[in-house]
A and B are shown apart, each in its own frame.
Chain A
Amino acid sequence: MYVTVNHRRRLALLSATMTAAVTATMTVTVSLLVAACGGQPASQTRAEALVSTTASSPQAQARTQPRRKSSPLALGLLTKAAQAAMLTSYWGVEIVTNSGTDGSVSEFESEVWHVSGGQTITQTQAAGANVSAQPYQSEDLNGQSPEGVLGVTQTLVKLLETHYVVTYGGVAQLDSRPARVVEVWRADGSLAAQFWLDQATDLPLQRQVFTDSVSPKSAHVISLDAFNEVQFGVPSQMPAVVPAAAKAAAMATMAPPVLLALNGHGWVVKSTMPGGLTLFSGGRTVTKSGPVLDLAYSDGLFVVSVFEERGKLASTLAGWQKVKLGGQTVYAAEPDEGSLTWAGRGMVYTLIADAPAQTVVAAVGVLPHDESPGFWKRLSHGFARLAHLANPFG
C-alpha cells in the first residue's frame, strides 16, 4: 500500500508540480486572452498579470503586479475545500516534504482514511525509529477539525484572508484529475502558496509553499504537500486504533483573549510571533508533570505551536539533539528538526513549527531562554553555593 518515496521521486514530484503550475497558469492565461478578445469581462490587469506569469516565474510576475484584494471566488473555493475535507469520505496517500531549519529536507508519507462527518485515521510510514508507524485516530471524532486534510481548515482560510491576497488561478491537470488552482500572494506581490483543489469534489489535492525571497531566482518551494492515489467513498478497510480518549487528556480550548490574560501570571503569552503570525488558538492540558499551555500562532499558511510547562528540562533527552539556533542553544527533535525545546526562566518551551526556517529562528529568539552565566557570575554563584553547603546553620 505504501509508496516508496526516495530522493529521485521527490525531485520528480517537485518538477511535476512546477510543470503543472506553469501549465495551469498558461491555460488560464490563454483562456482569459481568448475571452478578452471575444468581449468577455476580463480586466486588462488580470490578463497582463497572467501573461507575465507565463513569461517568467510566478515570483517575477508577482513583483511587478502586486494584488491588493482577495478574490471572493478564491476564498469561497478554499472554504469549500475545508468543508469537503470533513464532509467527503476518502482514502489517499499524503506526502509531506519540508525544508528544515538547517537546510535539510524531511519527507513523510502517510495514509489517510476519512469518513464523512466521522473519524479520521492516519498512519505515517515509519521514518527510522523516530516516527511511529502505528495508526492514529483523530481526537476530533465529529469531523469538525480533523487532522490530515492538507492544512486546509476553515480557521486557517480565515487567517489567509486576513494576512494574504487570495486569488483564483484557473484550472490545471493534476495526476489526470482536473483541479482548480488558488494562489496566495504576499502583500509585496510575491507568490506565497498555491492550492490545487479537486474540481469534482473540492477536496484539496496539493499545496505548495514558496519562500519569501527578494530575488525571484532564489525563490523556491519550501513545503510541498501532495494527496495522491485518492479514492473517494467510504474506505472499505480502516486500521484498528487505540481510542483517542485513552491516549491523552483532552485539551481545554481557550480563546486568544483568555490566553493573553494569562500573560504576567506566570506564563508568557505573546499576541504575535515573528513572521506576522498571530495567536489564533490555544488551550490548556493537564499532564502528569503539570499543566501545559498550548499557544498556536498562524497567518493562515504557516503555523507555530508553542507549549509551555513549568519546570526545567530533564537530565536526559533521548531523541533530541543539542543545536545552536540563532545564537540560542536548543534541543531539536530528530524527525524533522521542526520541533525544538529549551528551558527559560523556570519554564520549558517546546516549539513545533510548520514555517520557514527564518520564522522558526525568530520565534525561538523572542521567547525566554536560560542564558549561560559568564565566568564571574558562574564563579560567584558557585561560591555562594559552596558557602550554603558549608554553612552548618543553613
Chain B
Amino acid sequence: MSHLGDLLSALVDGEVSGADRDRVSAHLARCAECREEAAALRELKRELRSLAAEPLDHADAGTAMTQRLLAISAQAGAAGPIVPAHQRKHHIVPARIHGGSRGPERQRGPERQRGPERQRGPGGPGRTTQPKLSKRNRRFLVLGAMSIMVTLGTAAFSVGGGTDTAPGPRITPQYELYSEEHAIDTGEVPLTGPPAGSSTSPELEPAGQAQEP
C-alpha cells in the first residue's frame, strides 16, 4: 500500500498541483517504495493509453480508407463506369457518396438522360454518364493498337518469306558443265552454250544483289 494514498494516482494522472505536488515529490524523494509504485502506475497508464490508442488508429485507418474510396469513386466518375455491353443502357451504379444517401438509382443511357441530374463536369454531383472525351480516347487507343498490329504483321509477313535462312552459298547452276556431263551419259551432242547472260559465276556475283528469285 502506498504511503501517499490517492495522491499517488493523482500524481500519475497529473492532477496534483501546488502544495500537494511539493509534498508528494518530497516523499517520493525519500521513499523508494512509493517511487516504484509511482513508476509502476505510470507504466500501467502508458499501456492503457496504448491500448486505447489502437481503436483510435483503426478509426483513422477507416477514415483514410473511406477517403481513398471516395477518391477512387471520384476518379471512376471522371473516366466513366466500366459496364458490360449488355448493361450499358440499364445498369445500376451505387449512389454517390458526395451526392447524399439516396441509395442506388437507375442509370439511364447518355442519349436518354436529358434531365437536370445530368452532370457535364467530371466528379460533379449526380453525374452518371460517360464523357465524350473518354470515348474518343478509347477509340484512339483501339485504332492505335490496330495500327501497330497491322504494321507489325505486315513487316513480319514481308520478312517471313523466302529461304534466306538456308545455309550454304548462292548457286548459279553451271549449265555448260552439267550439259557436258549429261552428254557423256546420253551419248548425245552436248548443248555447250550457257543460258543467256548466265556467265556470272557464283563467286563473282555481287552480294548486294541478294533477291530471292
Contacts and interface: CB of A to CB of B under 8 A. Distances in A.
Interface string A295-314: 01010000101010111111
Interface stretch (A13-21, A61-69, A131-139, A186-194): A131-139
A310 B166 CA distance: 10
Contacts of A156: 186-187
A247 B185 CA distance: 18
Nearest to A280: B185
B183 A147 contact: yes
Interface residues of A, number: 86
B181 A316 contact: no
Contacts of A136: 180, 190, 192
A348 interface: yes
Interface string B182-203: 1111111111111111101111
Given A314-B170, A348-B171, A147 B159 contact: no
Interface string A152-166: 110010000000000
A299 to B, nearest CB: 12
Given A248-B177, A382-B158, A315 B195 contact: no
Contacts of A317: 172-173, 195, 198, 213
Contacts of B209: 315-316
A202 B176 CA distance: 31
Nearest to B194: A319
Given A289-B171, A370-B163, A386-B152, A149 B187 contact: yes
Contacts of B184: 139-140, 145, 147
Given A346-B168, A370-B166, A382-B157, A150 B188 contact: yes
B153 interface: yes
Contact of B185 (A296, A334, A339): A296
A110 B166 CA distance: 41
Contacts of B201: 288-289
A147 B211 contact: no
B180 A248 contact: yes
Residue among B152, B153, B173, B202 with the highest chain A CB neighbour number at 10 A: B173
Given A313-B170, A314-B205, A334 B196 contact: yes
B195 A319 contact: yes
Interface in A70-115: 85, 94, 96, 108, 110, 112
Interface stretch (A51-59, A122-130, A210-218, A357-365): A122-130
A356 to B, nearest CB: 14
A311 B168 contact: yes
Interface string A274-292: 0000000101010111101
A224 interface: no
A312 B166 contact: yes
Given A124-B192, A147-B188, A288 B203 contact: yes
Interface string A337-352: 0010101001010101
A90 B13 CA distance: 141
20 contacts: A110-B189, A130-B196, A133-B193, A147-B183, A156-B186, A248-B177, A285-B181, A296-B185, A309-B171, A313-B170, A315-B170, A317-B173, A319-B194, A320-B195, A341-B173, A350-B173, A352-B178, A377-B160, A378-B161, A379-B160
Interface of A: 85, 94, 96, 108, 110, 112, 122, 124, 126, 128-134, 136, 139-140, 145-153, 156, 225, 247-248, 251, 281, 283, 285, 287-290, 292, 294, 296, 298, 303, 305, 307, 309-320, 322, 331, 333-336, 339, 341, 343, 346, 348, 350, 352, 354, 370, 372-373, 375, 377-383, 385-386
Interface of B: 152-153, 155-161, 163-164, 166-198, 200-203, 205, 209-213
Top-5 shortest CB links A-B = A319-B195, A382-B160, A382-B156, A132-B193, A318-B197
